[in-house]
């Protein structure tokens, strides 16, 4: 049994039912759980380790509900920089077919490092690829190594309709193989216990890439074992058109027919919902993961988070989405982008900083159906982040440090504790040397792109310079 005391905490935001914010507080951790919280001086005598958090704002760790780890090696690819969705998907489909297990391993570590440094303590990894020698265990191994709480959404590409969004046929898995492997992963790795570090989620990629049978049988399997379900849904106009042409229905109407609604289901994006689809989502308690950076970058629509929250009865969380559609895994910045995007579309009072944080913390907790994280209270898992606000981005703006995390330019946390273990201290990852990781990521990313260019006889790395000056019309070079 070990104890860790966080003391002299300037501001402690509990995110509990009363939304208590304590000043001059302390928080005692015993092993992996929060034991006690108080203000002033902690009277407990025997403490193994103490952290003086003068000047810190402390809150529960953020939860990332949607990611594709392999894409860390596909950040900032020139042909994807200002591509239309069609061009983006065309190049991505070819790149996906070249991913190897080593790529996934290093990409996972890069993403997890970025996530931990940006305040994420629980992440979902939606991996729908199983090409070449890739293994789903690889993401789990990377998560265990770096110490982040991990939900592996075992995805799949199993059908390829004639559509711009469909995967290449040689990257498809057989549906029976997907179902068997999902069951194997659940039996081997899914931990339903309080404070679990690893859980499995059932997650066919999208209506473009999985059949009705795949959706129906996989959710039956998931419900047999009590695991969650996740998929891309109502993401873009292309999907809407495809669903209407193929099924004569909209995405969520079709999903309801397949049984893909309920409190154990959440959708990534949901930017194309009509009122009937929103009503289905609200009535069934289905969750939504907003991915604002990705939606802005790929010029998708906007997820109507603010109008839905105003209406009430919607469960909404936050995700960074894959790095090919975000170019970053910074969850704290994603909170800011969520707030900015909602205000741009729905008005200055569309989202407050604390609402934006609640979505990233309590929204994620509700959608993952976990009652052991998301709140700083005795008995909860010790997933805690902190920012020292005696830094330049806050200078002149310390009136409301909690809101400052969202409104000021804060791009990393100074402290992160996951399951009672310190993962970030003084703004640095603990026990992780990022220098070799960066070198390996650059090398593997370059090799991956070269393999793709060679196999498909194309070029995607020539920088695109679109002139803005002189101001006589845009020109591509
Ligand atoms: Zn995605």
**Strand spans (E) along 40-148:** 49-52, 56-60, 62-64, 120-127
Mean pLDDT of 68-80: 95
Q: State whether 311 and 450 are in the same domain.
A: no
CATH code where residue 183 lies: 3.20.20.140
- Residue 391 is given by DSSP the state S
pLDDT the model gives residue 209 = 87
pLDDT the model gives residue 173 = 94
Contact, 177 vs 158, CB < 8 A?
no
Structural domain boundaries, residue 458: 434-467
| CA 339 to centroid of ligand 1, rounded, Å | 20
As for how many domains the chain has, the answer is 3
Contact, 353 vs 406, CB < 8 A?
yes
Provide the 3-class DSSP secondary structure of residue 465: coil
Residues less than 5 Å from ion ligand 1, measured at CB: 321
Q: State whether 34 and 68 are in the same domain.
A: no
Short-list 258, 239, 261, 267, CA closest to 161: 239
Q: State whether 355 and 397 are in the same domain.
A: no
| CA 395 to centroid of ligand 1, rounded, Å | 36
What are residue 28's DSSP bridge partners? 5, 36
Contact, 71 vs 24, CB < 8 A?
no
Q: Which of 85-89, 354-358, 454-458 has the highest mean pLDDT?
A: 354-358
| CA 272 to centroid of ligand 1, rounded, Å | 15
Provide the 3-class DSSP secondary structure of residue 343: helix
Question: 288-325 burial, b if ≥16 CB within 10 A, otherwise e?
Answer: bbbbbbbbbbbebbbbbbbebbeeeebbbbbbbbbbbb
| CA 294 to centroid of ligand 1, rounded, Å | 8
| CA 97 to centroid of ligand 1, rounded, Å | 17
| CA 67 to centroid of ligand 1, rounded, Å | 6
| CA 68 to centroid of ligand 1, rounded, Å | 6
- Confidence label for 153 from pLDDT (cuts 50, 70 and 90): very high
Q: State whether 202 and 311 are in the same domain.
A: yes
Q: Is residue 112 part of a domain?
A: yes
Q: State whether 299 and 242 are in the same domain.
A: yes
Q: State whether 338 and 460 are in the same domain.
A: no
Q: State whether 51 and 155 are in the same domain.
A: no
Entry pTM: 0.97
pLDDT the model gives residue 474 = 66
Last residue of a domain, one of 350, 367, 384: 367
**pLDDT, greater one: 477 or 189:** 189
Q: Is residue 84 part of a domain?
A: yes
Q: Is residue 271 part of a domain?
A: yes
Q: Is residue 477 part of a domain?
A: no
| CA 219 to centroid of ligand 1, rounded, Å | 19
Q: Is residue 144 part of a domain?
A: yes
- Confidence label for 20 from pLDDT (cuts 50, 70 and 90): very high
| CA 255 to centroid of ligand 1, rounded, Å | 17
Query: How close are the terminal C-alpha atoms of the chain, in Å?
Result: 63
Q: State whether 53 and 77 are in the same domain.
A: no
| CA 240 to centroid of ligand 1, rounded, Å | 16
- Residue 381 is given by DSSP the state B
Please state, in angstroms and rounded to a whole number, the distance separating the CA atoms of residues 396 and 351: 23
Q: State whether 199 and 339 are in the same domain.
A: yes
Q: State whether 161 and 53 are in the same domain.
A: no
Please state, in angstroms and rounded to a whole number, the distance separating the CA atoms of residues 16 and 59: 11
| CA 267 to centroid of ligand 1, rounded, Å | 10
| CA 296 to centroid of ligand 1, rounded, Å | 13
pLDDT exceeds 60 at position 70: yes
Element (H, E) at 29: strand 21-30
Short-list 131, 69, 66, CA closest to 96: 131
| CA 377 to centroid of ligand 1, rounded, Å | 32
| CA 232 to centroid of ligand 1, rounded, Å | 6
| pLDDT tens figures, 194-237 | 999 999 999 999 988 899 999 999 999 999 999 999 999 998 88
pLDDT the model gives residue 60 = 98
| CA 42 to centroid of ligand 1, rounded, Å | 45
- Tokens 């994280």 correspond to what residue? 373
Q: Is residue 249 part of a domain?
A: yes
Q: State whether 162 and 299 are in the same domain.
A: yes
| CA 26 to centroid of ligand 1, rounded, Å | 39
Q: Is residue 474 part of a domain?
A: no
Least trusted range by pLDDT, from 39-48, 234-243, 289-298, 432-441: 234-243
| CA 469 to centroid of ligand 1, rounded, Å | 35
CATH code where residue 30 lies: 2.30.40.10
Tell me what percent of the residues of the chain surpass a pLDDT of 70. 97
- C-alpha distances in angstroms, 234 versus 206, 307, 340, 341, 342? 9, 17, 22, 18, 18
| CA 36 to centroid of ligand 1, rounded, Å | 38
Please state, in angstroms and rounded to a whole number, the distance separating the CA atoms of residues 427 and 415: 6
Q: State whether 285 and 198 are in the same domain.
A: yes
Last residue of a domain, one of 317, 332, 367: 367
Q: Is residue 476 part of a domain?
A: no
């Amino acid at each position: 049994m070990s104890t860790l005391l966080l003391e002299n905490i300037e501001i402690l935001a509990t995110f509990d039912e009363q939304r208590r914010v304590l000043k001059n507080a302390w928080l005692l951790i015993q092993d992996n759980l929060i034991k006690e919280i108080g203000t002033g001086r902690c009277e407990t005598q025997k403490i193994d380790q103490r952290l003086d958090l003068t000047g810190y704002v402390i809150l529960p760790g953020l939860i990332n509900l949607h990611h594709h780890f392999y894409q860390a090696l596909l950040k900032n690819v020139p042909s994807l920089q200002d591509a239309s969705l069609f061009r983006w998907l065309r190049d991505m489909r070819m790149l996906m077919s070249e991913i190897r297990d080593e790529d996934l391993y290093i990409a996972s570590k890069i993403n997890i490092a970025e996530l931990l440094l940006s305040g994420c303590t629980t992440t979902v990894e939606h991996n729908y690829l199983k090409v070449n020698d890739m293994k789903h265990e690889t993401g789990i191994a990377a998560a265990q190594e770096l110490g982040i709480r991990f939900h592996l959404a075992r995805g799949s590409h199993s059908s390829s309709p004639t559509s711009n969004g469909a995967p290449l046929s040689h990257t498809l898995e057989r549906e029976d193989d997907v179902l068997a492997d999902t069951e194997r992963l659940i039996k081997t790795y899914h931990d339903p216990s309080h404070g679990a570090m690893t859980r499995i989620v059932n997650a066919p990629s999208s209506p473009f890439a999985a059949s009705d049978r795949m959706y129906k049988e996989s959710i039956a399997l998931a419900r047999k074992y009590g695991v969650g379900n996740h998929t891309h849904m109502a993401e873009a106009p292309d999907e809407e058109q495809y669903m209407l042409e193929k099924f004569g229905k909209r995405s969520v109407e079709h999903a309801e027919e397949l049984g893909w609604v309920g409190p154990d289901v959440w959708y990534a994006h949901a930017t194309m919902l009509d009122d009937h689809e929103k009503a289905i989502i609200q009535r069934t308690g289905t969750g939504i993961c907003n991915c604002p950076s990705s939606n802005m970058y790929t010029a998708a629509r906007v997820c109507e988070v603010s109008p839905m929250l105003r209406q009430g009865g919607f469960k909404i969380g936050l995700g960074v989405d894959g790095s090919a559609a975000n170019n970053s895994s910074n969850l704290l910045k994603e909170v800011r982008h969520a707030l900015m995007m909602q205000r741009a579309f729905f008005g200055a009072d569309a989202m407050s900083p604390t609402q934006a944080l609640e979505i990233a913390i309590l929204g994620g907790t509700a959608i993952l159906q976990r009652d052991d994280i998301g709140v700083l209270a005795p008995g909860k898992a010790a997933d805690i982040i902190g920012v020292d606000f005696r830094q330049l981005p806050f200078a002149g703006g310390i009136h409301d440090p909690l809101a400052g995390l969202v409104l000021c330019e804060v791009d990393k946390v100074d402290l992160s504790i996951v399951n009672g273990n310190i993962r970030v201290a003084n703004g640095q990852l603990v026990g992780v040397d990022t220098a070799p990781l960066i070198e390996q990521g650059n090398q593997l990313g370059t090799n991956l792109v070269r393999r793709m260019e060679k196999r498909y006889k194309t070029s995607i790395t020539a920088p695109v310079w679109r002139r803005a000056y002189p101001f006589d019309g845009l020109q591509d070079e």
